[in-house]
Amino acid sequence: MTTGLDRCACKRGFFTLRDCDRPATTACDLCSRRVCDEHLAPRVQARVCVECAARQAEEATTPSEPPTGAPVVHRGGHGPEAVVDPEQATVRTARYRRRYYDDHGYEPMWWASHDSYWAGDGYRWHDDDDFDDDDGGGFGDS
């Protein structure tokens, strides 16, 4: 595990989420979190992290629930698109991750330190009242 204060705040992973832990190089204009170069979305006049870019992109698209409010039942047909340019892989994956969580109600396993940015999102973690919090963020390395 890498130690240090100025680390990227974005989360790595799709089925599970963990800290990026790469050295941060800048701050996101929207969420103010410190992020690394890899988790910076390609924008011309702003510095936006891939997680904020994904949220913005998904909020701008039409919701995928029908007007009746019935949940959408997916049986495939919603996979990620093939990314030919490797530089686009991180930003495209972050967007697909956001869409997949929203559309399928998938709650990833949380193996990262506490992050209020994700407070409104569903994720799964070990919730034990007797747990001895020795990591300052709720995730002790036992």
Partner 1 sequence: MTSVRESLRMLSSEHRDVLRTKLVDDRRPAAEWHALLAPLHDLDVRADAARSRAGKQLLWLYVAGIALILASLFVAPIAALALLVLFAIPIVALHLQRGRLKRLDLADAALGLALPLLPLLAEDAADDAPLELALDLRGPTVDAKRTGEGEPYARGAYHRIVDTFFADPFLHARIRFADGAHVRLAVVEHVRRSRKVKRNPRGKTKIKVKSKRRIQLDVSVAFPARNYVAVAAPTGALPPTDRERVTVRDGATVVAERRVVKSAGAGGAIDSGHLVDLLARAYGRVEPVRRKKL
Which residues sit at the interface with partner 1, rule CB under 8 A? 1, 12-16, 18-19, 71, 73-86, 89-90, 92-93, 96-97, 100, 104-113, 124-126, 128, 131, 135, 137-142
Copy the structure tokens of residue 141: 């390395």
Q: Which is nearer to partner 1, 120 or 129 (CB)?
A: 129
Contact 61, 101 (CB under 8 A): no
Residue with smaller CB distance to partner 1, 60 or 84: 84
Question: Is residue 36 within 8 Å of residue 79, measured between CB atoms?
Answer: no
The pair of three-digit structure tokens given for residue 2, joined into one six-digit string: 């890498």
CB of 89 to partner 1, least distance (A): 4
CB of 68 to partner 1, least distance (A): 16
Nearer to partner 1, 26 or 123 (CB): 123
Instruction: Please report how close the Cβ of residue 70 comes to partner 1 at its closest, in angstroms.
Output: 12
| Residues ≥6 apart with Cβ < 8 Å to 20 | 7, 8, 9, 10, 11, 12, 35, 36, 38, 39
The minimum distance between CB 15 and partner 1, in angstroms, equals: 5
CA dihedral 17, 22, 25, 118 (to 10 degrees): 20
Give 44 or 141: the residue with its C-beta nearer to partner 1.
141
